[in-house]
Structure 1
């Protein structure tokens, strides 16, 4: 029996995605004046498709049940945007700042939900006191 529900695992994956996206956005902002730098983005839909196709791990109550294994990488994929300025740079600062704000809201919502789940677990452990 698993101590943590699948929801906590899903929240963890969401936090990993958000952290990776934040890192990529920060790299784009840091390279706004770098000649010939192409902006990058993390594709959520591609990460979701990878998660759907990866095998899962299941608890077996009988030896005749089919075995499942987990092999999710969680690395994500990157796609480049090809908009050029005069120096060949493809970073749009307004878009990057909007993406950063959106990602921050998403991350904070996941953290709040994770805190709620862990507080519920802590309440159960304490016996409702």
Structure 2
């Protein structure tokens, strides 16, 4: 299940420094960023991801449970952690948005999930 964490940021007269090491709960094997993205859906079979909106803002809707989770990323000191079972959509993306993604696995096309996430409701 996705969760939002705050990244430690130090600010003084020289500017701000946001620290990522020792905060992401997995080994980072791939880093990429997307600028000027359009709306899209994503999911990976094995990959954990950490998404940071470096500039602009976006709404991420996660579909990995009975109810969708909504996360607004609009500052560089917020990080959305996504598990392999998470299936998410990027929506309401500003034209100036830059999203950086830290991933636990290298890119493999066959790992991409194209079908919607299917979850089971427990009635017990």
Q: TM-score, normalised by structure 2?
A: 0.22
Structure in which a larger fraction of residues adopt helix: 1
Q: TM-score, normalised by structure 1?
A: 0.22
Larger Rg: 1 or 2? 1
